[in-house]
Amino acid sequence: EIMDNSVKASKAVASEIASLIKVKELQGDPCVLGLATGSSPIKVYDELVRMHKEEGLSFKNVYTFNLDEYYPMQPDALQSYVRFMKEYLFDHIDIPKENIHIPDGTLKQEDVYAFCQKYEQRLEELGGLDLQILGIGRTGHIGFNEPGSSVNSRTRMITLDSITRIDAASDFFGEEYVPRKAITMGVGTIMKANRIILMAWGEGKANIIKRTVEGPVTYETPASFLQNHPNTTFVIDDAAGAEL
Ligand code: GLP
């Protein structure tokens, strides 16, 4: 879906999320959302916060699993995805704290594997992801699944691509301060979601959107695996769709 601007597009995505939350509540089932960070989903979170404040949309029944976190990372650091999620969403809605899951950037290295196993297990106990929202990196990463990630990959520690570290440099006040690792949900974890919405805005994403949508399905462009997911929509603006 190519929309003429990201505000309109983000509102449409937020309203799909809100409808899902309401349906799940009526059914008495938990609503399990996979959430993303980065600039792409910010307007969706703004709109969900507005719906909570003005329309009484409740998140009491919502469980969230964030895609990724830098490693190492303290939760209160400026670049932390824990901090990001609080700032843009969690601090402004009524989601119970215990329903929130974000990869832990403070773990000791030897505890990461067990943490990742538990992350997957908890997700499965809740019945899996009802809806996953995604951004896309210039390398074609979803979450932090960089080129080389297999379609069956699960939550794990990865090494960040140099392009990703260059793109994150301004957030860290210099490339040398960008962590070399991250913990991310796998491509396989994401592919099990019932519904996936990937968002991309601006001309900087035009090339990777073309490769992802029109190029071959390959681990060299991990987002291209989404071509084989039965219920994925790319919601992009004109600029991001310019090379299609
Ligand atoms: C980071 C995140 C990704 C996100 C990407 C794109 O690398 N880990 O999940 O999709 O940035 O960011 P943006 O939305 O700011 O373009």
Q: What pLDDT score was predicted for residue 76?
A: 98
Q: Record the tokens describing residue 231, joined without a space.
A: 């219920």
Q: Average pLDDT in the 78-82 region?
A: 98
Q: Which domain holds residue 154?
A: 2-202+211-237
- Answer yes or no: is 242 within a domain: no
Ligand 1: residues within 6 Å at CB?
36-40, 67-68, 135-137, 143-144, 164
Q: Which residues of 148-177 are buried (b: 16+ CB within 10 A; e: fewer)?
A: ebebebbbbbbebbeebbebbeeebeeeee
Chain centroid to CA 71: how far?
16
Q: Which of 42, 88, 141 to mutate to test the pocket of ligand 1 (most atoms within 8 A of CB)?
A: 141
Which among 50, 58, 78, 51 has a CA at the least distance from the CA of 178?
A: 78
How many angstroms separate the alpha carbon of residue 39 from the centre of ligand 1?
7
Burial 79-98 (b: 16+ CB within 10 A, else e): bbbbbbbbebbbebbebeee
Q: Ligand 1 pocket: which of 13, 35, 40 to mutate (most atoms <8 Å of CB)?
A: 40
The number of the ligand 1 atom at minimal distance from the alpha carbon of 199 is: 14
Residue 243 maps to a domain:
no
Percent of the chain with pLDDT over 90: 100
- pTM above the 0.95 mark? yes
Summarize the confidence of residues 221-236 as an average pLDDT. Answer: 98
Residue 58 belongs to some domain of the structure: yes
Q: Whose CA is nearest to atom 12 of ligand 1?
A: 38
| Residue 54 in domain | yes
| Shortest-distance atom of ligand 1 to CA 68 | 8
Q: Is residue 17 part of a domain?
A: yes
Work out which ligand 1 atom sits closest to the CA atom of 138.
Answer: 6
How many structural domains comprise the chain? 1
Please report whether residue 117 resides in a domain.
Answer: yes
CATH number for the domain spanning 34: value is 3.40.50.1360
Question: Is 137 part of any domain?
Answer: yes
Mean pLDDT of the chain: 98
Nearest CA to ligand 1 atom 5: 137
The Cα–Cα gap between 154 and 61 comes to 26
Establish if 162 belongs to a structural domain: yes
For the chain, the three-class secondary structure string (H helix, E strand, C coil) is CEECCHHHHHHHHHHHHHHHHHHHHHHCCCEEEEECCCCCCHHHHHHHHHHHHHHCCCCCCEEEEECEEEECCCCCCCCCHHHHHHHHCHHHCCCCHHHEECCCCCCCHHHHHHHHHHHHHHHHHCCCCCEEEECCCCCCCECCECCCCCCCCCCEEEECCHHHHHHHHHHHCCHHHCCCEEEECCHHHHHCCCCEEEEECCHHHHHHHHHHHHCCCCCCCHHHHHHHCCCEEEEEECCCCCCC
For 85-126, what is each residue's pLDDT tens digit? Answer: 999 999 999 999 999 999 999 999 999 999 999 999 999 999
- pLDDT-based confidence at residue 40 (cuts at 50, 70, 90): very high
Whose C-alpha lies nearest to ligand 1, atom 7?
137
Which ligand 1 atom is at minimum distance from the Cα of 184?
A: 8
Catalytic residues: 146
90 CA distance to ligand 1 centroid (A)? 19
pLDDT given at position 232: 98
